[in-house]
Amino acid sequence: MEDSATRHDSTAAVGYDPTAIERKWQRLWRERSTNATDIRGAERPFYALMMFPYPSAEGLHVGNLFAFTGNDIYGRFQRLQGHNVFEPLGYDAFGIHSENYALKVGRHPMELIPKNIENFRRQLERAGLMVDWDHSLSTTEPDYYKWTQWIFLQLLKQGLAYKKKAAVNWCPNCKTVLANEQVVGGVCERCKTPVEQRSLEQWFFRISDYAERLLSNLDHLDWSDSTKTAQRNWIGRSEGAELTFEGEAIDCAIRVFTTRPDTIYGATYLVVAPEHPLVDKLTAPAAMSDVNAYRERTKKQDIVARKTSTEKTGVFTGTYATNPATRQRVPIWIADYVLMEYGTGAIMGVPGHDARDFEFATRFKLPIVRVVCGERDDANAPLEAAYVDCDAGMMVNSGPLDGLTVSAAKRTIVEMLAEGGAAKPVVNFRLHDWCISRQRYWGPPIPVIYCDACGTVPVPEKDLPVVLPFVEDFKPDDSGVSPLARHEEWYRVACPTCGRHARRETDVSDTFLDSSWYFLRYPSVGNDAVPFDREITRKWLPVNSYIGGNEHAVLHLLYSRFITMVLKDAGHLEFEEPYTRFRAHGHIIREGAKMSKTQGNIVNPDEYIESWGADAFRTYLMFLGPYEQGGDFRDQSISGTRRFLDRLWSSVQTMTTEGNADPLVTRKLHQTIRKVGEDLPRLSYNTAIAAMMEYMNAVRKGERTPHRDEVTPLIHLVAPFAPHIAEELWEQTGGEGSVFDAGWPNFDAALATDDAIDLVVQVNGKVRGKIHVARDITQDDALETAMSAPDVAKFVTGPPRKIIFVPGRLLNIVA
Ligand SMILES: [Zn+2]
Ligand SMILES: [Zn+2]
């Protein structure tokens, strides 16, 4: 790897020294404040946001740079279009990542983070990003997290923050609670330790109150479809009904949620979650020890594993309930595939028409009854698997529902049972409330004080920030409380209301709260009186363009939408959707393999930039493949993009002003301007680069001397990708100021028109295909091209008897 990163191309252009040029322009940008935005005075504001990084000790990852470069190109393009572009970048530096690393290396995060940030800043500047460093921030600075705490207080004020004891995912290694999203395949996303369940008092945000709004707004957002789909699935709206089954024990009505009330005649058992509050009441004395053992077992499992587990387990409570439709007795079971958090924590088992119920019933030999039938099915034949087709199915074995379609049966049964109080229609969401408590050290303390006399007292806004104290022993332990709870000198305070002895909340907040509002802060950085200035916010927000990874589709992107809605409802903002446009970028691999530290195949941007230049490196990253899909980083291919820049350089050095530009090259130029201008807004960077390379080939065909008019527009086109060489060549060709304030070249629509057309080919009057050919192709050439297409040739059995040719439109072969 050392080899390929440092290998130099012997054909490098004379005088093109990327290192010198890039350092020169980075210095000039700083000195001239080229990248600083006039926040108050901007007339055509454009906010180009990228997801801020976690500043790791290893430094900038090539994946970070891939993401940022894509945003930078978009931002620079918007600036060339005449916008005042604001491109800020900060650091998401709180959280378990930083803390675990600090613990591993035995240093303090307060000492490590500033060093990491300094290194990131150096690397980011070296990569030539158009970042406005006057508006940078770190979530760990007290003047930032003061406002993170303020946001907590706004939620508390609106009744959207509450504390409850909850079963949570607990990582025994990280010694902290994990959100469901942080548990992947039953293990901790960070350390891969199997996750357990614990019950702890936690602070939650009522994001579920916003589920409907978070869902319906998606329809109007200009976002990547994959991201919208992920959010829709995560929110998981389902329409259904709550049905009541009377238990035989006293006061034991069991409410179940189902999306298939139509199948109630096939409900042959009930299942309640092991944590369900009725379990003790429902369990017969003889079954109690089995039930208790099962509940203990369940506690050791995490929620995600329970949702996805393929092996069904459960235990019979020994009691029964009455099916409100059939009036038959059905046994009540407990099983871990039913979650307290979903619906009512109880379900009716319909093994004939639900795959998981079918497995469960098969395993425990419970009756399987068919109540929905396909057109050709025998209503009384045993089922081999659950029948789940709702569209084709008709109701059978269902008393008054027989013969109805599934959707009609849903309505009918809910109406019928509702009369006796045994059913009501409900909408259910998969989205849970957001647990924001972390029993860790490295985060903003939750700004709450507990007083024996006054209860839970919010820290008064004037007392913010609650500063995270420097403590040496920040290592979490097994107690389930934060390391801050070991520091009495910190948590003992006077109650803000009555002045008596009180105690601070010792948990810190989730790092996703830090990142849920950072984009609101950037334009107002420097103003310590408010989290975000009202007028500035009106001018710059919502964000015009946001680019980031789809791994944040359901965490950060959902939480920041929620916080924005809450702040709007509280009158602090005038909009409720933070990002007008969002695009998810792809990911890059290396030589066909995923990059990882253990594989030792991580691309270190520093080495590549050192040997090829930031411009060539940036351009190469964007040339790897479609930006929204990613690509494969291959060491030897970077020389191709470097060669392109070399040729651009030498073209400027050798170009002539004598005579006129070649008309064919000029036509190609206008096509290229059009193509690049169409590709950039679509983030189709690789095709834009390919078009510029192709144009360069036309310019230098046969080592001809290019005309000035053929070359100078290319400086603007290449500028978003390779900003330093563009600035240098702009200066060399007599340009004033920054090329980024010099506008985007226009194209002549007539000249840019594509010469190729789709010619329809018929054989004996029937359309057999299309051929992509030059507009002015001759009849003979068109015939030859058509006959070389197998789809056409196979219909021409003999020599053509007649040819009908309509130039530019149609070729009909009569055979
Ligand atoms: Zn862990
Ligand atoms: Zn008090």
Spatial distance between the Cα atoms of 760 and 777, rounded to a whole number of angstroms: 13
Tell me what the mean pLDDT of segment 562-570 comes to.
98
> pLDDT: is 476 or 641 the higher one?
641
Q: Is 806 exposed, middle or buried (0-12, 13-18, 19+ CB in 10 A)?
A: exposed
User: Residue 450: its pLDDT value, please?
Assistant: 97
The answer to whether 182 and 594 have CB atoms below 8 angstroms apart is no
Expressed in angstroms and rounded, the spacing between residue 338 Cα and the centre of ligand 2 is: 42
Distances (CA, A) of 778 to 657, 682, 757, 802: 37, 36, 13, 16
Spatial distance between the Cα atoms of 805 and 390, rounded to a whole number of angstroms: 53
Q: What percent of the chain has pLDDT over 90?
A: 74
The answer to whether 762 and 813 have CB atoms below 8 angstroms apart is yes
Expressed in angstroms and rounded, the spacing between residue 448 Cα and the centre of ligand 2 is: 12
Tell me what the mean pLDDT of segment 468-475 comes to.
94
Tens digit of each residue's pLDDT (9 = 90 or more) over 178-218: 777 678 878 888 889 988 888 788 999 999 999 999 999 99
Tens digit of each residue's pLDDT (9 = 90 or more) over 324-364: 999 999 999 999 999 887 789 999 999 999 999 999 999 99
Tens digit of each residue's pLDDT (9 = 90 or more) over 438-467: 989 999 999 999 999 999 999 999 999 999
3-state class (DSSP) for residue 645: helix
User: Residue 120: its pLDDT value, please?
Assistant: 95
Q: Please tell me the number of the ligand nearest to residue 458's CA.
A: 2
Tens digit of each residue's pLDDT (9 = 90 or more) over 735-752: 999 999 999 999 988 888
Tens digit of each residue's pLDDT (9 = 90 or more) over 659-675: 999 988 999 999 999 99
Expressed in angstroms and rounded, the spacing between residue 144 Cα and the centre of ligand 1 is: 27
Expressed in angstroms and rounded, the spacing between residue 491 Cα and the centre of ligand 2 is: 15
Spatial distance between the Cα atoms of 29 and 221, rounded to a whole number of angstroms: 35
Expressed in angstroms and rounded, the spacing between residue 456 Cα and the centre of ligand 2 is: 9
HEC per residue, 336-405: CCCCCCCCCCEEEECCCCCHHHHHHHHHHCCCCCCCEECCCCCCCCCCCCCCCCCCCCEECCCHHHCCCE
Q: What percent of the chain has pLDDT over 70?
A: 97
Expressed in angstroms and rounded, the spacing between residue 503 Cα and the centre of ligand 2 is: 10
Expressed in angstroms and rounded, the spacing between residue 491 Cα and the centre of ligand 1 is: 27
Instruction: Number of helices (H) and strands (E) in the chain: give both, helices first.
Output: 28, 32
Expressed in angstroms and rounded, the spacing between residue 454 Cα and the centre of ligand 2 is: 4
User: Residue 312: its pLDDT value, please?
Assistant: 87
Q: Please tell me the number of the ligand nearest to residue 456's CA.
A: 2
Neighbouring residues of 428: CB distance < 8 A, sequence distance ≥ 6 = 237, 238, 239, 240, 257, 259, 342, 343
Tell me what the mean pLDDT of segment 508-523 comes to.
97
User: Residue 453: its pLDDT value, please?
Assistant: 96
Tens digit of each residue's pLDDT (9 = 90 or more) over 756-780: 778 899 999 899 988 877 777 888 8
Taking the CA atoms of 679, 680, 685 and 688 in sequence, report the sign of the dihedral they define.
positive
Tell me what the mean pLDDT of segment 160-165 comes to.
94
Expressed in angstroms and rounded, the spacing between residue 140 Cα and the centre of ligand 1 is: 22
Burial pattern 118-136, b for ≥16 Cβ within 10 A else e, equals: ebbbebbbbbbbbbbbebb
Q: Is the peptide bond before 465 cis (omega within 30 degrees of 0)?
A: yes
Neighbouring residues of 57: CB distance < 8 A, sequence distance ≥ 6 = 101, 105, 112, 115, 116
Q: Please tell me the number of the ligand nearest to residue 454's CA.
A: 2
Q: Is 708 exposed, middle or buried (0-12, 13-18, 19+ CB in 10 A)?
A: middle
Q: Please tell me the number of the ligand nearest to residue 496's CA.
A: 2
Distances (CA, A) of 575 to 214, 219, 520, 572, 662: 14, 16, 12, 9, 52
Expressed in angstroms and rounded, the spacing between residue 175 Cα and the centre of ligand 1 is: 7
**492-494, strands of its sheet edge to edge:** 455-458, 448-451, 501-504, 492-494
Q: Please tell me the number of the ligand nearest to residue 495's CA.
A: 2
Q: Please tell me the number of the ligand nearest to residue 451's CA.
A: 2
In this prediction, residue 305 has a pLDDT band, given cuts at 50, 70 and 90, of: low
The continuous run of DSSP H or E covering 435 comes out as strand 434-435
Expressed in angstroms and rounded, the spacing between residue 499 Cα and the centre of ligand 2 is: 6
> Is the pLDDT assigned to residue 754 strictly greater than 70?
no
What six digits make up the tokens of 673?
């301007």
> Is the pLDDT assigned to residue 7 strictly greater than 70?
no
User: Residue 540: its pLDDT value, please?
Assistant: 98
> Is the pLDDT assigned to residue 566 strictly greater than 90?
yes
CB atoms within 10 A of CB 584: 24
The DSSP string of 47-79 is EEEEPPPP--TT---HHHHHHHHHHHHHHHHHH
Tell me what the mean pLDDT of segment 430-438 comes to.
91
Spatial distance between the Cα atoms of 593 and 596, rounded to a whole number of angstroms: 9
> Is the pLDDT assigned to residue 603 strictly greater than 50?
yes
Q: Please tell me the number of the ligand nearest to residue 501's CA.
A: 2
User: Residue 200: its pLDDT value, please?
Assistant: 82
Spatial distance between the Cα atoms of 89 and 68, rounded to a whole number of angstroms: 9
User: Residue 307: its pLDDT value, please?
Assistant: 66
Tell me what the mean pLDDT of segment 233-255 comes to.
90
Rg (CA), the chain: 33
Expressed in angstroms and rounded, the spacing between residue 156 Cα and the centre of ligand 2 is: 18
Residue that has been written with the tokens 């900003």 in this structure: 723
DSSP conformation class of 509: E
Expressed in angstroms and rounded, the spacing between residue 187 Cα and the centre of ligand 1 is: 8
Residue 361 one-letter amino acid: A
User: Residue 477: its pLDDT value, please?
Assistant: 81
Q: Please tell me the number of the ligand nearest to residue 169's CA.
A: 1
Expressed in angstroms and rounded, the spacing between residue 504 Cα and the centre of ligand 2 is: 12
Most confidently predicted of 74-78, 428-432, 639-643: 74-78
In this prediction, residue 3 has a pLDDT band, given cuts at 50, 70 and 90, of: very low
Expressed in angstroms and rounded, the spacing between residue 195 Cα and the centre of ligand 1 is: 8
Spatial distance between the Cα atoms of 177 and 156, rounded to a whole number of angstroms: 21
Q: Is the peptide bond before 681 cis (omega within 30 degrees of 0)?
A: no
Spatial distance between the Cα atoms of 271 and 360, rounded to a whole number of angstroms: 10
Expressed in angstroms and rounded, the spacing between residue 181 Cα and the centre of ligand 1 is: 13
Q: Please tell me the number of the ligand nearest to residue 503's CA.
A: 2
* pTM greater than 0.85: no
Find the range with the poorest average confidence among 46-50, 120-124, 138-142, 300-304.
Answer: 300-304
Expressed in angstroms and rounded, the spacing between residue 465 Cα and the centre of ligand 2 is: 20
Expressed in angstroms and rounded, the spacing between residue 485 Cα and the centre of ligand 1 is: 21
> pLDDT: is 183 or 623 the higher one?
623
Expressed in angstroms and rounded, the spacing between residue 500 Cα and the centre of ligand 2 is: 6
What six digits make up the tokens of 227?
């991201």
Q: Please tell me the number of the ligand nearest to residue 453's CA.
A: 2
Expressed in angstroms and rounded, the spacing between residue 188 Cα and the centre of ligand 1 is: 5
Spatial distance between the Cα atoms of 81 and 75, rounded to a whole number of angstroms: 10
Q: Please tell me the number of the ligand nearest to residue 190's CA.
A: 1
Give the long-range contacts of residues 283-290, CB within 8 A, separation 24 or more: 283/317, 283/318, 283/319, 284/317, 284/318, 284/319, 285/318, 286/318, 287/315, 287/316, 287/317, 287/318, 290/315
Expressed in angstroms and rounded, the spacing between residue 53 Cα and the centre of ligand 1 is: 20
User: Residue 509: its pLDDT value, please?
Assistant: 97
Environment of ion ligand 1 (residues, CB < 5 A): 171, 173-174, 188, 190-191, 193
**810-814, strands of its sheet edge to edge:** 766-774, 756-763, 810-814, 802-806
Spatial distance between the Cα atoms of 801 and 813, rounded to a whole number of angstroms: 8
Expressed in angstroms and rounded, the spacing between residue 510 Cα and the centre of ligand 2 is: 27
> Is the pLDDT assigned to residue 5 strictly greater than 50?
no
Q: Please tell me the number of the ligand nearest to residue 188's CA.
A: 1
Tens digit of each residue's pLDDT (9 = 90 or more) over 143-155: 999 999 999 999 9
Spatial distance between the Cα atoms of 620 and 643, rounded to a whole number of angstroms: 11
Tell me what the mean pLDDT of segment 37-59 comes to.
95
> Is the pLDDT assigned to residue 614 strictly greater than 70?
yes
Expressed in angstroms and rounded, the spacing between residue 145 Cα and the centre of ligand 1 is: 25
Tell me what the mean pLDDT of segment 78-89 comes to.
98
User: Where are the alpha helices (H) located in 236-376, listed in sequence order?
Assistant: 279-282, 288-299, 303-308, 355-364
In this prediction, residue 8 has a pLDDT band, given cuts at 50, 70 and 90, of: very low
Q: Please tell me the number of the ligand nearest to residue 189's CA.
A: 1
Q: Please tell me the number of the ligand nearest to residue 184's CA.
A: 1
> Is the pLDDT assigned to residue 303 strictly greater than 70?
no
Q: Please tell me the number of the ligand nearest to residue 497's CA.
A: 2
User: Residue 189: its pLDDT value, please?
Assistant: 83
The answer to whether 356 and 344 have CB atoms below 8 angstroms apart is no
Q: What is the average pLDDT score of the chain? A: 92
